[in-house]
Amino acid sequence: MAVATLPHAQTADHGEVDRLYAETRDLRLNGFLLFLVSDVVLFSSFIFAYLYMRNTGQGWPPPGINRLDVAFAALNSVVLFGSGATMHYALENWKHGNFGRYAGLMVATIVLGAMFLCGQGYEYTTLYFREHVSWAGSGIFGASFFTLTGMHGFHVFVGVWYLTVLLLQSVHGVYTKQKYFGLTAGTLYWHFVDVIWVVLFSIFYLI
């Protein structure tokens, strides 16, 4: 069975990559990396503040708050990390002109990202209504947990829409095998989301 290739509008070979694109590609990449670095600084400031306040308290979690559901969080983590793998292979298939596989893997990434958000919503609902843990009423733990995981969830939400836009742009011929910086940026962003979750999962569920 033949593998679907890039749309016809994208397969035209003009002999060389557009000069303007070539000149600005590295600049755009550096700019995007600086954006990710600024996000790392943002998360780091909250994470170190949380760890500092946690280590000055009397035991953890605080009295009256049960330990978080590690098994459910681990399952939700597998969903998110799986989306990182599908995103990686989506980009690789795009580079090799396998549009059908690329599109399927992009859809899988978007669906897995949405599933992770649903899992996070379920966890929030359970904590609030069953465990009575809230952002404002559970001290440092509640404020830190909901702030940091909420920030991360917002990044996942933005990423889901970002990847959806990238997929639609791909269908409409915005990218080619030579010019696909948007897809590279999307992949880097999604891997950033994965790495941040590794840290959050460790400090809230494992330590």
Q: Contact at 8 Å (CB) between 199 and 205?
A: no
The label of the residue with tokens 């400031």 reads 45
What are the residue boundaries of the structural domains of the chain, listed by start?
A: 27-206
Q: Is the dihedral of CA 93, 153, 195, 126 positive or negative?
A: negative
Instruction: State pLDDT tens for residues 165-199.
Output: 999 999 999 998 888 999 999 999 999 999 999 99
Span 16-72, pLDDT tens digits: 557 777 777 888 899 999 999 999 999 999 999 999 988 886 677 777 788 899 999
Query: 27-206 architecture in CATH?
Result: Up-down Bundle (1.20)
pLDDT at 140: 86
pLDDT of 6 above 90: no
Place of tokens 């992009």: 106
Instruction: Please give the torsion angle defined by the CA atoms of residues 179, 181, 182 and 183, in that order, rounded to the nearest 10 degrees.
Output: 90
pTM here is 0.88
